[in-house]
């Protein structure tokens, strides 16, 4: 099976005429007829019902047509990707990474003025799928991932803020120890929605031989900060760039609450000359 045969098959299916398809593709009608006949012979089926006046698709031909069209579209996409300039990179992340990502992109562009660097917003699963499929060259994630065909490069440690209502008994502290928080309810989304944060907090409390005291789970349509206002003795954790006014924010005294941020790439992305400069800029290694 050749792409040329698929192209001729789709053209004839569209025009329902061998002669019209030949004119549109700037080839002879005999060339199209010969390739379609070869295609039918290879498949062992008839794709068209032919008469002296009309050409119609057979039932098998009708089933094959959308697949053939999709294969031609994929071939076009492959050719387009192969022609893309090497000074282009696509970074997938979520909004919590926006500030640091845009600063890194600006830094790289100062040295590579012709660079085309895109920043696209995706959910965690969408980010990983985008790297796997080639739709993105790099994804930023918190935590780690083990998936064949992907490389994970640590970038920086993301500190977590301890958040509580302004009238919480500990709100006037600059920092607080986990042991001091143990008596107060911790408000979090269900584990299924925030596996990483639950694991980080659980592990750090476990290292001290204590357990957090969980309050009621935060509903999907509620925000953590609103729940803190409604529960002034409760606390939660937020990413550093998620702070909002009206809430007290503290650091954990010994810096225990942090999460690794990493870049997820494909091994073949190493050939992109913008990849390493962007990683260095995200790490803060560039002047």
- Cα 287 from Cα 244, distance rounded (Å): 30
* Phi, psi for residue 132 in degrees, rounded to 5: -60, -45
* Nearest partner of 137 among 80, 87, 91, 78, judged by Cα: 91
- Cα 92 from Cα 230, distance rounded (Å): 35
Strand partners, 93: 121
Q: What is the pTM of this model?
A: 0.63
Distance of CA 287 to the CA centre of its chain: 28
Establish how many alpha carbons lie within 13 A of residue 222's alpha carbon, considering only the half-sphere containing its beta carbon.
15
Quick: pLDDT tens for 38-64. Answer: 999 999 999 998 887 888 999 998 999
CATH 1.10.10.10 domain position(s) in the chain:
3-83
Query: What is the three-class DSSP state of 2?
Result: coil
CATH 3.40.190.10 domain position(s) in the chain:
88-150+266-283, 158-255
For 88-150+266-283, give the CATH class: alpha beta
* Nearest partner of 73 among 14, 1, 10, 136, judged by Cα: 10
Distance of CA 208 to the CA centre of its chain: 36
- Cα 161 from Cα 258, distance rounded (Å): 9
* Phi, psi for residue 89 in degrees, rounded to 5: -145, 145
**The token pair that represents 64 in the structure block:** 């094959």
Pick the CATH number of 3-83 from 2.60.120.10, 1.10.260.40, 1.25.40.20, 1.10.10.10: 1.10.10.10
* Nearest partner of 196 among 151, 240, 146, 141, judged by Cα: 141
- Cα 245 from Cα 163, distance rounded (Å): 11
What is the architecture, at CATH level 2, of domain 158-255?
3-Layer(aba) Sandwich (3.40)
Query: What is the three-class DSSP state of 134?
Result: coil
Local confidence pLDDT in tens for the 287 residues of the chain: 788 888 899 999 988 988 888 888 888 889 889 999 999 999 999 999 888 788 899 999 899 999 988 888 888 777 666 655 557 899 999 988 998 999 999 999 998 888 889 999 988 889 998 898 888 999 999 988 888 889 999 999 988 899 999 999 999 998 999 999 999 999 999 988 888 899 999 999 999 999 999 999 988 878 888 889 889 999 999 887 656 667 899 999 998 899 999 999 988 777 788 999 999 999 987 55
Query: What is the three-class DSSP state of 103?
Result: helix
Query: What is the three-class DSSP state of 188?
Result: coil
């Amino acid at each position: 099976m050749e792409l040329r045969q698929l192209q001729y098959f789709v053209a004839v299916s569209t025009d329902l005429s061998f002669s019209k398809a030949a004119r549109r593709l700037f080839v002879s009608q005999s060339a199209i007829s010969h390739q379609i006949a070869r295609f039918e012979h290879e498949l062992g089926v008839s794709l068209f019902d032919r008469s002296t006046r009309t050409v119609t698709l057979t039932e098998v031909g009708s089933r094959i047509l959308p697949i053939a069209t999709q294969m031609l579209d994929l071939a076009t996409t492959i050719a387009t990707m192969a022609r893309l300039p090497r000074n282009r990179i696509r970074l997938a992340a979520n909004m919590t990474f926006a500030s640091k990502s845009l600063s890194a992109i600006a830094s790289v562009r100062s040295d590579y003025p012709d660079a085309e660097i895109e920043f696209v917003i995706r959910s965690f699963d969408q980010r990983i799928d985008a790297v796997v499929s080639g739709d993105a060259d790099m994804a930023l994630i918190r935590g780690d991932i083990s998936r064949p065909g992907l490389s994970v490069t640590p970038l920086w440690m993301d500190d977590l803020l301890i958040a509580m209502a302004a009238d919480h008994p500990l709100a006037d502290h600059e920092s607080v120890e986990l042991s001091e928080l143990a008596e107060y309810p911790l408000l979090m989304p269900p584990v299924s929605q925030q596996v990483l944060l639950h694991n980080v907090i659980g592990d750090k409390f476990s290292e001290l031989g204590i357990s957090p005291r969980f309050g009621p789970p935060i509903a999907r349509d509620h925000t953590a900060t609103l729940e803190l206002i409604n529960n002034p003795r409760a606390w939660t954790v937020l990413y550093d760039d998620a702070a909002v006014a009206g809430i007290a924010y503290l650091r954990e005294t010994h810096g225990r609450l942090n999460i690794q941020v990493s870049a997820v790439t494909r091994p073949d992305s190493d050939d992109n000359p913008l990849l390493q400069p962007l990683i260095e800029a995200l790490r803060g290694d560039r002047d």
